[in-house]
Amino acid sequence: SAVISQKPSRDICQRGTSLTIQCQVDSQVTMMFWYRQQPGQSLTLIATANQGSEATYESGFVIDKFPISRPNLTFSTLTVSNMSPEDSSIYLCSVVWENPNQPQHFGDGTRLSIL
Amino acid sequence: QKEVEQNSGPLSVPEGAIASLNCTYSDRVSQSFFWYRQYSGKSPELIMSIYSNGDKEDGRFTAQLNKASQYVSLLIRDSQPSDSATYLCAVKKGAQKLVFGQGTRLTINP
């Protein structure tokens, strides 16, 4: 089956710094998304990563804080900017493989801790 | 009212019994529903999708959908200790956005 790879798998960062998370898939996908899962909580959609154009952000999430790129059909990045302890979460990439009506599948996630 | 609601549990079921997980949703026009399993420290894994009223079976798993009652459930037959995980109900909103419930933590006791 197709593979969704996220890097890094985990990191510990200082407040005020930024971290870029990569999501790479081994075949072309129609849609890519970024989610956040705060400790003990469920998943919340941050944004839809659009190929070749600006991401579509959900309410409560802004581009200055979470810039997203998607230069092609197999790769996307999420940057968490000017981090604070409240940004400590798991960040997950998800994809829809071919038909937009198909379910989403998740990468392994990036576990981020901010000191 | 939350868009997708689940009982957070924990739900404890003896091995070999049927585990029943429930989910309600608020948007009456929703058409697509999913159950994901998430082991501790892991990412969510899709186990069932359902789009029509009624039951959908896949091995030991059965998803049930009742759109009139805005209710989705997941039954796990012959529960195994390896089924111990958090089960997330997700409802598709719009073209592709998924809204997740809080998840139900299930423990299967040997």
Alpha-carbon gap: B14 to the closest alpha carbon of chain A (Å)? 25
* Chain B residue with Cα closest to A111: B41
Are B54 and B68 contacting, i.e. CB atoms less than 8 angstroms apart? no
DSSP string, B77-110: SS--GGG-EEEEEEEEETTTEEEE---EEEEEE-
Q: Which residues pair with residue B14 across a beta bridge?
A: B109
Distance CA B45, CA B57 (A): 17
Q: Give the span between the Cα atoms of B100 and B90, in whole angstroms.
A: 4
Task: Write the pLDDT tens digit of every residue in A51-65.
Answer: 888 899 999 999 999
Put simply, the answer to whether B96 touches A31 (Cβ < 8 Å) is yes
Mean pLDDT, rounded, of chain A: 94
Identify the residue whose tokens are 């299967």. B108
pLDDT for residue B19 is more than 90:
yes
pLDDT (tens digit per residue) in B37-75: 999 999 999 999 999 999 999 999 999 999 999 999 999
Give the model confidence (pLDDT) of A55-108 as tens digits. Answer: 999 999 999 999 999 999 999 999 999 999 999 999 999 999 888 778 999 999
Contact B88, B44 (CB under 8 A): yes
